């Protein structure tokens, strides 16, 4: 039959070689995201490091952890993250200045990052 593959079903092929990853409690994972972000890693790098599927999920974990902090700590973390996003904005504006469509797309995404922290 055309289109049929020999061997075990797809899910078995990909899971046989990998041991199951122990599941971290969500709160611990969220805190790990904050630690890595505070070390200067991008959300993409944090996601790769922690085995999170998408950078946006790592960013959501950061926001959850931030909102669980006491007011003083939350405000300090918010300020540091805002400074990181300001630096990212400067890099985006410099790098994408010659490509207005790309610049706008990246600035909209950056605005969404900022809004999610509120």
Buried b (16+ CB within 10 A) or exposed e, 29-48: bbbbbbebbeeebebeebbe
Q: Which tens digit of pLDDT belongs to each residue from 27-41?
A: 899 999 999 999 999
Q: With respect to residue 7, please indicate whether it lies within any of the assigned structural domains.
A: no
- What's the pLDDT at 22? 56
Under the banding of pLDDT at 50, 70 and 90, the label for residue 48 is very high
Does residue 110 form part of some domain?
Answer: yes
Q: What span, in angstroms and rounded, lies between the C-alpha atoms of 59 and 45?
A: 11
In a domain, 65, yes or no: yes
Question: Is residue 62 domain-resident?
Answer: yes
Count of the separate structural domains present in the chain: 1
Whether pLDDT at 4 is above 80: no
Mean pLDDT of all residues in 48-69: 96
Judge whether 98 lies within some domain: yes
Q: What residue has token string 């985006």?
A: 92
Residue 28 lies in a domain: yes
Q: Is residue 31 part of a domain?
A: yes
pLDDT of 10 over the 80 cut: no
Q: How confident is the model at residue 25 (pLDDT cuts 50, 70, 90)?
A: confident
Q: How high does pLDDT run on average in the chain?
A: 87
pTM comes to 0.75
């Amino acid at each position: 039959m055309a289109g049929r593959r020999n061997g075990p079903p797809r899910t078995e092929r990909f899971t046989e070689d990998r041991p199951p990853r122990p599941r971290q409690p969500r709160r611990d994972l969220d805190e790990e995201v904050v630690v890595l972000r505070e070390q200067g890693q991008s959300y993409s790098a944090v996601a790769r490091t922690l085995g999170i599927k998408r950078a946006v999920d790592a960013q959501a974990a950061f926001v959850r952890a931030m909102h669980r902090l006491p007011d003083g700590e939350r405000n300090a973390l918010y300020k540091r993250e805002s400074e990181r996003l300001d630096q990212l904005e400067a890099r985006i504006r410099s790098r994408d200045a010659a490509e207005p469509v790309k610049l706008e797309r990246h600035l909209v995404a950056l605005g969404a990052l900022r809004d999610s922290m509120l």
